[in-house]
Structure formats: C-alpha cells, structure tokens
Structure 1
Amino acid sequence: MLKNVLTAFFILGTTVAAEATVVPNSLFSDHMILQKGVAVPVWGHANEGEKVTVRFNGQTVSTVAKGGKWMVKLAPLPYITTPQEMTITGENKISIKDILVGEVWLCSGQSNMERQLGPRPPQQPITDWEKERDAANFPMIREYYVPLKYAADKVEDVHEKWTVCSPKTVADFSAVGYFFARDLYKRINVPIGIIFSAFGGTPAEDWTSKAALEANPELTELVKNYDKATTGYRPPGKLMSGLYNGMINPLIPYAIKGVAWYQGEANNDRPKQYQVVLPNMIKNWRTDFGQGDFPFLIVQIAPYKDMTPEIREAQLKITQKVKNTALIVTTDCGDANDIHPSHKQPVGARLALAASGLVYHQKIEYSGPMLKTFRVNKDSVTLIFDHAAKGLQAKGNGTLSGFTIAGGDKKFVPAVAVIRGDKVIVHSSAVSKPVAVRYGWANVPDCNLYNSADLPASPFRTDVE
C-alpha cells in the first residue's frame, strides 16, 4: 500500500512525506500552466476538517476540507514566464515547481485530434514529423495528457502530469494540439498549456454529461435509443456520457481559456442531429466549468470519401448560431482515401489564427470567406461574403471551381463563377432561371475560393434545408 501511495505522489510530480494527507488533483503538479486573468480554482483531497493553505505568487488562501475534499480560488494572475513554486500545506506540505501562468486550451475531439506527432502505424506519418520534432524546443509550451477512458461514473482525477515541450517529448503530443500551441505561442509570446483529452472514433454525445443529454427535449430519442444510434465502429467501453465522466469531469473546474475541438466523423451519419448534439455539449461544458461562454474553435471535417457535405454544413451552421465560436476550414487539408490526413500543420496554424483574432483581438483576418447572403438575378446568382479580407481570390489557376447551380428542378450542374470584390457571380448556360447555388458540395470537394489572407471558404448551399 505504501509503495502505491509513494508511486501516486511521484506521478503527481510533487515532493511530499509518506504520511501526507493533503493531496492536490494531479492537474496541480510540476510544470503546470495556470490561466492568466481569471480566478484560478485549486483543489484536492484531505482529512475531514483539515485546514489547507495554498501559497502562490504572493497570495495565501486557506480553507477547511469537507467530505474529504477542499478547494480554494486564487485571485486572477498576471502572465508569469519565470518558473514559480506553489506550496500546499495541511498536516503535510507539498511543493509544486516550475509553474508558469499563460493561456490554457483544452484540445479535444476524436482521432484527428488524438493523433500524436510521432509514428502511429498503420496511419500515415505526420508530414515532416521528424523535422517538426527536432525543432520543438519550446519550454513555455506544456501538455497535460488525459488517458483514454469511458467511465460509468464520474472520475475525479486521472493521475497524470504536465510535460514540457522539447524534441525529446513532443512526439507524444497531439499533433494538431502542438501545432496550435506552437503557432499561438509565436503570435502572442506567452506560456501556452494544452490539455490533451481526445479519443478516436467517438461521437459528441459521449462527451456530454448524462444530465445535459436528458435535459434537452430534442435529444430524448437519442437518449432512449442510445445503443442503436451509432453504426459501424464502436470504441472499446463505449457507453452514454462515458467520455464526459472519464475524460472531462476530471478536469472541471480547471481554469481554461477555451476549447479547440476536432470531431464529427463519428456523427457523420446524423448531421441534422449533430446540430443539436454539439451545441448541447458546448453549453454543458461552459456551464460545468463555470467560466462563462469561453470560445470553442471547431475544426471542420476534412475531405474524405465517406464524409458527407452535410456534416460540414452542420459544423458551419453551429458556428453561425452559437456565440463565441469559430470554424476552421480544412478543404485543402484532406485525403480522399484516408480519414486521417497527414498534413496537420495548416489545421494548427488556422486554430492559432482563430484564437489570435477571435479571442486575443489581434487585428488580423482569422477566417476564410463565409457566405453572408445571396441574391437571385434574372439568369445568375450573386453571393456576398463576410471575411473577404482585402478581396476574394481563386487560388491556383485563377479560375473558380467547385460551384454548381440549379433551377426549379433542383438538378445541379457545374457553374461558371466570377469574383467581383467581396462577391461571386454564378451562372450557367444550362440554367436560364436559377434558384440555388452550392459550393464544395461533395464528400471530396474540388474547390478553390479563398480570401486575400489565403484562407479557404467553407462549403455551403443556398438551398439550406
């Protein structure tokens, strides 16, 4: 038993005596990054009635353990780039070292977020992964890893640790998470912490608490028929709300800035329902973390032979309806024959752009063109876009591709599309009286509308159901 206790304390990365009674959650361990500018909860276990005192950066906060648990809140902290120490004192004293204060992002979703930078046969290697590994000398980037776990009951602590980014460690980091953190660090030059909690092949409802699922009347049938909802691959241990219990609840209420979310493949066959499921999950997380409507950066599903345009449309519509969200378009990052495309760098770069513009208010264009409205003319359709930056462009040969047009018969045919500032005029000699236009409407779209910031437009249709 003593050996197990000592091992647990070693995993926590803390220096404690064997008879210690105060134990912080493993999120509070050596090399951690705390969130700047907000109240910072710190919590753990102790003996009933034991006084617990936390000291950090000139603050001293105390409480008394109730029910074997304790929590204090540190007042908002400034950015801290010089390693600091935290002490937690009760009947014993724990020292947590090499702490920075910066920006903390939860990186979650399924396999394209779960994929680490290093090799993972039989998946393709990440593009230039060895070169990326060798250049990953970023001591102010750290990752906390959450093990894959479906759980029937809420887990309180996953007993993991923070890892400092270096060429020796980065191969085990989430590839997308690392590229996001690296590019964001280069843009804002403060410590970046990523909490890596992702599990391949998992639908969004599994990341949602049972209470949140049951409370939404639009999801009554999903809850009732949960075991029938998923077709095809079923991850080991799959059960309703199992990932919320096993991989999200242990993190609550750690102070975070926001979420980078790359998921949707497992909901591909239910795109309309996804328009309810994902906003419900976002609301669930925002409510349970208790930190307001923090930003959700949603990566749109990349082109692949089995991924329908309806799931991309669902993700687009979610970002249009749910506040403080952004859509990361990946039409140029896919692989028609591999659901795990190897080119992850642009995904991380665009996540960093979205965070920089939406969250950190840098004066940059952070989104690709988004259809704002459209106008049906006599023999053409005019599309008007937001996020055109300094103008739209047809990337490549200068001729727009990916547009189709239809008349009243709803038979879509390839169309000619021409850019006019922040507008695109679409027509076809085969359609004399058009009623609708679609762009990139295919499992593997061939499309090239970008803005002057070199960001691609999201696929869309004007005949939205």
Structure 2
Amino acid sequence: MLRIYTLKGFLFMILVSALFACEHSQKEEDKIDLSLNSLFSDHMVLQQNDDVAFWGKYTPAQELSIVASWGEKTSVSTDGMGQWTARLKTPRAGGPFTVTITAKDSTITLKDILIGEVWLASGQSNMEMPLKGFLPNDPIDDSEEEIANANFPQIRYIDVPRTIAPLPEKEFEGQWKPLNPETASDFSATAYFFARKLHQELDVPVGIITSNWGGTPVESWMSKEKIISLGEFEKELEAIKPENIKVFEDWYSKFPTKKIPVSEEEWQNLNLDDAAYANSDFDDSKWNTTALPVVVENLKVINKDGVYWFRKKVMIEDQTSNYTFKVTGGIDDSDITYVNGEKIGSTFGHNTPRNYAIRKGLLKEGENTLAVRVIDTGGGGGFIGDVTLTKNDTDTAVDILEGWSYQQIAGIQVSDFLLLHKNQGALENPPKGLESFKLDAHTPSTLYNGMIKPLIPYSVKGAIWYQGESNVGRHDQYLKLFPGMIQDWRERWNGDFSFYFVQIAPFEYGNGLSPALRDAQRKSLKTPKTGMAVTMDIGVSNNIHPGNKQDVGDRLARLALVNDYGKDIVASGPLYKSQTISGNKIALAFEYAESGLVAQNPNPSGFEIAGEDRIFHPAVAKIEGDKVEVSSPSVNAPKYVRYGWKDYIAGSLFNTEGLPASSFTTEE
C-alpha cells in the first residue's frame, strides 16, 4: 500500500529517529562495566549474623540481582552515577559459600566465602610490622617457627596499600588471602596473633582488614570534618583545599620519579644519580646548614620523608693516625658514609649504632670532606645520639658537630621517590605556600581519605589499633584527637563497634614525654566500648618495635573475648582506679586486680610520690592484697603518686594472671 506522509508527519519521524539515536548513543557513553569494591573478592570473610553491605558500579539506572548460596537474595538499581549498594543477611559462622551478582550483560561470582568474625587492624609501624619482622634489625620473636606453623585456612586477611588522598576515595586495590606459610610472612604480626587466638577460642573463621602506615600520627587517620569539629589543624587543612592541590600537583610533576626498593639488596644498590654529592670538590655553597645530631623533620624540607645528603668540611692536623666516625644512636633509617669521596661504611637499619673505621691515609692534612647520604622512609629520621670523629690512638675527638650543609634530593610520594635534584630550577622556585602545603602521610585526614573511607560500610565486629609513637610530645592534643577518631569511625560506619588499642611500649625516646602519651591513652578508656592492651613489660629500651607481638595480640584478643564473646577470663592488666591518703602513705586501688597483685621482685619498683609541690621522689611500694601502699621519707604529706613515669622502664607490677599494670599518675 502506498503511504503518503505529510511534511509535518515526515519531520516528526525524523525527530523520533534522532531522539532514538541520541538515546542509544547516550546509553553507550554511560555504560559502565560491572565491578565491586576490592573488599569483595574470592576468599573474603563476612561478619556473621549481620546485615552486610555489598557495593560497586554498573551502568546507571540498571537493575542487579544478588544471590547468596546460604539462601539469601536481593535486587538493587544503580543510581544516576552508576553506584549501587545492597545488603544481605548473613547466617551464623560457616562456609564456604558463593555470592553471584548478575546484571543484564554480565555476571560476577565470588567463591570460597567464609562467614565469621571480621576485624579492622590499623595504626602505625607496630601494627604494620609483619610476621617476618622489619629485617634485618627488627625481627619478630620466633618468626621462622611462627610462619612455618601459620596454617589456618579459615583465617583470611586483606591489606589496604599505602595511599595518600587529599579527598575521600571510594576504591583501593587488594585481595583476600587465606592464611598459610606462604602468605603469613607479610601479615601484620599483631593482627595475626589476635586473629589466631580468636579463631582457636571461638572455632569460627576470622577475617582481618589491615590498613597501616608506619610513622604516622593519629590526625592522618581522621576525617576532615571531625578534625575541624575539634578545632585542630585548621592551617594544614586550609592548605590542602582543592584549588591548591592542582597547583602543587603541577609542580611535583616537574620532577622525575623512581620506584622505591622492596628488598635490602635494592636499597643497598639504590642509584638516584647523586654520587657526585660524595665528592670533595662538589659545590654545596647554596645548601642550607645545620648542626648534628638532627631530626630531618625539623629541617627546612619539601617532603618529610626521603633522601638527604649531609656534608661537612673537616680540618685534620694529623693524617698519620686511624680515625673512627661514630653515631651512637644510629642513623634513621639507613645511610652510606664517605670520606673524601670514598665509602667508609653503610648500614641498612635505623636503630644500629654507626661505627665506621677510616683507614690511615684517607684523611689528609688540611681540609677533608665528610659526606653522609641519609634515607628516611617514615617517621622521625636523621642522626640519633652523639656524632663523633675520633683519632684512635689518643682517643682525641675532632669537633664536627657544627656547620653541616644539607640538601633533600628526593622526597617520598607513596611508592615512588620524587627526584627533586633532577630539576634544580623547579626546586628553587616552588609555589607560594609550600611551607604550609604538606600532602604526605603526616597531613591531617589524608590516610582516612585513602585507607579508611574505601572500607566503609563493610561490616566489622570491631577495630584493633596500635599507634601513638608519632604523637609523643602532644599528649594533651592526643587526648582530644584519639577519642575523636574512635567516635569518627563509629559515626562513619553508623555502628557502635568495639575498639581495642595497644598502649605504646616503653622505649628510650630521650625526652621523657612518652609517659604522658601513655597516660592519655589510659584516659581514653573513658570512651565507651574500648579496651587497652598494656605492654609495660615487653618494651625494648633501644628499639621502638618490640619483637614480642605474641603477647600484644593475645592481650587484644582477651579484651574481645571478654567483652564481645562472653568468655570468663581476665581482660586486662591492673588499671589505676583510686587513691586513699592516710598519714604519710597513699594506698592505691586498681581495676582488674580482684585476685590480687604481684611483683617480679619482692616489692614493685618504679613508683614515685609527691606532695602539694608536685616534686616527685622515689617511693617504697608494698603490695597489700589488691592494693599498693606507697610512701617516702622525703614526703611527709603526700598527695600524688605516679608509676612507670619514664620513657623506658621495665614493668614491675602485675595481677596474678601475669598481665602488667599500666603506668599512670594520680594527678588530674
């Protein structure tokens, strides 16, 4: 049949065809492949008896179905940005199960899923420290045996890679791993011993999400909104506002990068095209100057972590003797040291004293050059303790502390070195405001954005935390920030989950400020549903990373077993509760001491007592059942007592279960 269209009808058909083509084209442009957050992978562990979240991306305005092999199913539609979130009810612990997510044109099936108890493990280096240790200087006790016996297929973990982000992220790259001798060596030692005890005591699968970065302060792990609400770090947060980020990213992009080594051999052979800085004839006149010893974070630098050169002109009168260059506390984290361009020694390890012999004849009469290449990978870095150049035969010291030239030649940007010295022009002309723009792992909120936010709202039973060393010296602020972080995480997860933390272990910081940080942690126990694992008995005076992580994990697990799983065991070491003054004595009462107190020696040591003047004197302490009686002939009218109030001290007071008492002061 012949059809005759009017002009109006013809134009209408053209319009409909155009709209159809446009709609089809728009759909092709909007198409997003089906994907899930990295938390959802084969071998994952889901929290039992919960309404757990799944989330990911797919084409906008499309429907997905989610089916779990334990009998639950649901459906969900993607939003206008292609985001979707669904929830499934989980049964009691068991498995393995599968979960299948089906879209119109694709399907993802997750296999070997276990249902059990899920915990988040976070903090700085003592939580990050793997079961193999930080070799060669910081091993885990009995690590080889522990790794060989770590065959627990129902314990799984997923690690969040180090990520700095100025704005909140949604994704990270990771994969759940069943625990066996091949995977155990890189698993957080503290988290492993915690998970192992839970698994053995509860006989259920255990999943651990690890999110750690050594040498980082608590404020890095908090959201920007929470930090602002506490009135802290306003200047730092203002500096990393979005309009500034682009300026500094453009500047950083002017410098070449080099991947950070992953093995000791690679570190020892690291070549950053900086060999000329060891030579005597190198011109360092434009460098800044400092005295030694020094912490690099206190210098005028671009990034806090990275590679530094220190150079010093030294006058020698007697070149016929042997000399020795020493740094008594070590160089954090590693160094290569030269005299007149010749290497005299190198050490890979932060807490090892440097003791480098200088052969006879290498030093010449007159001017000589000492050059030290320092690599700081995180936390405080630089020269620790006395720095000396000594003539061996007479033990005469050459004055070398003043007048060192220094230059940072590389910064650390997550997994890369930023080679600052490869573009001297850009280095000498940084953007205005660089002194306040610090986009690194120390910057407030950056690790929350990159390493915590992508985990929310994955269902967890609770969190374990080991951090505080990087906030030593800021205890009053920590007492505000740390409880604030706990509240922040709970609000973001929309759940009042348990939070257990490790009190930092005694270590010779050298400033006497760490006891106050430990006490800020103790006072943080006022936050509901928290607990503290005390480590007063396992500290090492010259190593901030104690090798005994077995007791740390055990003590964290005790807190969970008592408070979350109803086990009838003692959860903690003694915690100061109250004092009673009677004449020239003070009697101290403790929580977690119902069955009595004990000391390694006949009487506990480390107690001090003071009157109204707050001048503390060594005290005699005697255990009387579940109390400690303290006195001193130097204090007739006592008012205050403190215990363990030193950077490093070997804990001497325990309950009868063998758990150590926390340090404390009765001062308010």
Q: TM (normalized to structure 1)? A: 0.91
2:100 aligns to what?
87
User: Partner letter of residue 245 of structure 1?
Assistant: N
Structure 1 residue 323: deviation in Å? 0.4
**Pair 1:426-2:630 in alignment:** yes
1:65 aligns to what?
78
1:382 aligns to what?
587
2:649 aligns to what?
445
**Pair 1:313-2:525 in alignment:** no
2:616 to 412, 422, 434: 412
2:55 aligns to what?
43
Structure 1 residue 119: deviation in Å? 4.3
2:561 to 356, 361, 364: 356
State the alpha-carbon separation in 2 of the partners of residues 97 and 20 from structure 1: 23
Structure 1 residue 454: deviation in Å? 1.0
State the alpha-carbon separation in 2 of the partners of residues 300 and 225 from structure 1: 32
**Which blocks of at least 5 consecutive residues in structure 1 are unaligned?**
1-18
User: Partner letter of residue 271 of structure 1?
Assistant: H
Structure 1 residue 344: deviation in Å? 1.0
SS at match of 2:518: helix
Structure 1 residue 417: deviation in Å? 1.1
Q: Is the 8 A contact 2:152 2:179 kept in 1?
A: yes
Structure 1 residue 137: deviation in Å? 0.7
1:9-408 map, 5 Å:
21-56=33-68, 57-66=70-79, 67-80=81-94, 82-91=95-104, 92-217=106-231, 220=234, 223=237, 235=378, 236=412, 237-238=440-441, 239-291=443-495, 293-306=496-509, 308-319=514-525, 321-394=526-599, 396-408=600-612
1:229-274 superposed Cα distances (whole Å, 9 cap, x missing partner) = x868655433331101110011010000111000001111211000
SS at match of 2:163: coil
SS at match of 1:249: helix
Q: Is the 8 A contact 1:218 1:276 kept in 2?
A: no
User: Partner letter of residue 96 of structure 2?
Assistant: P
SS at match of 1:150: coil
**Comparing 135-144 and 70-79, the one that deviates more:** 70-79
State the alpha-carbon separation in 1 of the partners of residues 656 and 125 from structure 2: 31
SS at match of 2:122: strand
The percent of aligned pairs where both chains have the same amino acid is 43
Change (3 A) 1:400 1:120: closer
User: Partner letter of residue 500 of structure 2?
Assistant: L
User: Partner letter of residue 51 of structure 1?
Assistant: E
User: Partner letter of residue 311 of structure 1?
Assistant: L
Structure 1 residue 223: deviation in Å? 5.0
Q: Is the 8 A contact 2:601 2:652 kept in 1?
A: no
User: Partner letter of residue 99 of structure 1?
Assistant: I
User: Partner letter of residue 603 of structure 2?
Assistant: T
Structure 1 stretches of at least 4 aligned residues deviating more than 6 Å after TM superposition = none
**Comparing 271-280 and 407-416, the one that deviates more:** 407-416
1:340-375 superposed Cα distances (whole Å, 9 cap, x missing partner) = 111111101101111111221211110111111111
User: Partner letter of residue 548 of structure 2?
Assistant: H
Structure 1 residue 188: deviation in Å? 1.3
User: Partner letter of residue 253 of structure 1?
Assistant: P
1:454 aligns to what?
658
User: Partner letter of residue 309 of structure 1?
Assistant: P
State the alpha-carbon separation in 1 of the partners of residues 646 and 598 from structure 2: 21
1:108-159 superposed Cα distances (whole Å, 9 cap, x missing partner) = 0000001111143343211100000011011110001100111122221112
Task: Give the number of the structure whose alpha-carbon radius of gyration is greater.
Answer: 2
**Which blocks of at least 5 consecutive residues in structure 2 are unaligned?**
1-30, 241-296, 306-377, 379-411, 413-439
Q: Is the 8 A contact 1:43 1:69 kept in 2?
A: yes
Q: Is the 8 A contact 1:389 1:452 kept in 2?
A: no
SS at match of 1:94: strand
State the alpha-carbon separation in 1 of the partners of residues 494 and 166 from structure 2: 23
State the alpha-carbon separation in 2 of the partners of residues 123 and 325 from structure 1: 33
SS at match of 1:103: strand
User: Partner letter of residue 202 of structure 1?
Assistant: T
2:308 aligns to what?
none
Structure 1 residue 407: deviation in Å? 2.2
Q: How well do the aligned residues superpose, as a CA RMSD in angstroms?
A: 1.9
Query: What is the aligned length?
Result: 440
SS at match of 2:483: helix
Structure 1 residue 221: deviation in Å? 7.0
User: Partner letter of residue 205 of structure 1?
Assistant: E
